[in-house]
């Protein structure tokens, strides 16, 4: 097969042969993978061999992965963890040991086992590693938080509502909020309306307000028409301010329909945020139509005095 022209079928055939060889002589399979001169193929072959080896003998496979040159080590370990993930407890045990033995690369090992567990649908195990086990092996608290975000992000791509509900069980407020934001970032691509409705059912408080704000900002960025239709059904409230601000300050809306942008901004509940949004709109509108913008500034009751003064000064300044 090595003599055949390069193709996906050839690559798949060679990988299948290497995986078969692992059963009889894993070191020989590994040596053949190493001998490949094409770097991209070499990486694929190494991954396939170590993944297949880890399914049979994870301890031996991880020892070989750790003995590889540094340039290959992280991908090799990821392959081993992918193979070992059919037994989640084994994959977690290997990851814990790797993190303890090589704390400099602990963050990468954590990401690798989380991805491996997510690939086989072990989302709760991945979260447990990040939250509980990860707290004992992560070199820095920042690493643990990033693992939590990664675990929930993987989960949200497939089961967003279950992932969101699971965040509510986190006892640490900071971790809970960051995990919820990770879910939001993926869920909003799948079902933004379902996401926003879910968030609105959360217990009232800062987390709900901030999370809904982030969800609406992302929805506005991805689909402003749908987001505006959803927001328009509801009465103005502080929880909608972030989404309304995102809509009102869309550059394309200000350029094409400044009156609509101003109307959205005027519906912002928080006075300071309302004035900030109006200021942003008026700066852009003033560059195109300074006279109309100035008339609005002079007549509006929604601008803070300091914002009005600054805007009037800028709108009367001579154009260079």
What is the DSSP-derived secondary structure letter of residue 104?
G
- Which token pair is 19? 């995986």
Q: Which residues of the chain have pLDDT under 70?
A: 1-4, 134-141, 317-320
Q: What is the pLDDT of residues 255-281, one digit of tens each?
A: 999 999 999 999 999 999 999 999 999
Q: Rounded CA gap, 87 and 91, in Å?
A: 6
Q: What is the pLDDT of residue 317?
A: 55
pLDDT at 136 (0 to 100)? 62
pLDDT, residue 60, reads: 96
Task: Judge whether 262 and 281 are in contact, CB under 8 Å.
Answer: yes
- Structure confidence at residue 134 (pLDDT): 60
User: What is the residue-wise DSSP string for 17-62?
Assistant: HHHHHHHH-HHHHHHHHHH-SSHHHHHHHHHHHHHHHHHH-HHHHH
pLDDT at 95: 94
What is the C-alpha R_g of the chain?
Answer: 27
pLDDT at 320: 46
- Segments in 68-223 forming alpha helices (H): 70-84, 88-101, 106-119, 123-128, 134-137, 141-156, 160-167, 173-190, 192-200, 206-222
Give the integer Cα–Cα distance in Å for 238 and 209: 8
């Amino acid at each position: 097969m090595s003599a055949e022209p390069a193709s996906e079928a050839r690559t798949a055939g060679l990988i299948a042969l290497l995986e078969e060889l692992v059963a009889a002589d894993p070191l020989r399979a590994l040596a053949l993978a190493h001998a490949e001169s094409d770097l991209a193929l070499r990486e694929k072959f190494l991954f396939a061999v170590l993944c297949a080896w880890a399914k049979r003998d994870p301890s031996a496979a991880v020892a070989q992965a750790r003995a590889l040159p540094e340039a290959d080590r992280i991908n090799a370990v990821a392959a081993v963890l992918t193979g070992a993930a059919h037994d989640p407890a084994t994959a977690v045990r290997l990851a814990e040991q790797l993190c303890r033995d090589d704390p400099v690369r602990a963050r990468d090992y954590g990401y690798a086992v989380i991805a491996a567990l997510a690939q086989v649908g072990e989302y709760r195990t991945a979260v447990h590693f990040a939250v509980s086990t990860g707290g004992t092996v992560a070199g820095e608290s920042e690493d643990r938080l990033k693992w939590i975000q990664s675990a929930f992000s993987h989960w949200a791509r497939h089961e967003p509502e279950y992932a969101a509900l699971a965040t509510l069980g986190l006892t640490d407020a900071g971790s809970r909020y960051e995990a919820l934001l990770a879910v939001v970032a993926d869920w909003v691509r799948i079902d933004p309306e379902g996401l926003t409705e879910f968030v609105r059912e959360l217990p009232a408080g800062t987390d709900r307000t901030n999370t809904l704000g982030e969800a609406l900002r992302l929805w506005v960025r991805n689909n402003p028409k749908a987001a505006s239709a959803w927001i328009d059904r509801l009465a103005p409230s502080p929880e909608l301010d972030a989404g309304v601000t995102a809509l009102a300050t869309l550059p394309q809306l200000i350029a094409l329909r400044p009156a609509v942008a101003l109307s959205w901004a005027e519906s912002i509940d928080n006075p300071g945020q309302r004035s900030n949004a109006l200021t942003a709109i008026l700066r852009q509108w003033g560059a195109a139509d300074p006279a109309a913008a100035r008339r609005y500034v002079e007549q509006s009751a929604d601008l803070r005095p300091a914002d009005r003064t600054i805007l009037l000064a800028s709108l009367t300044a001579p154009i260079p």
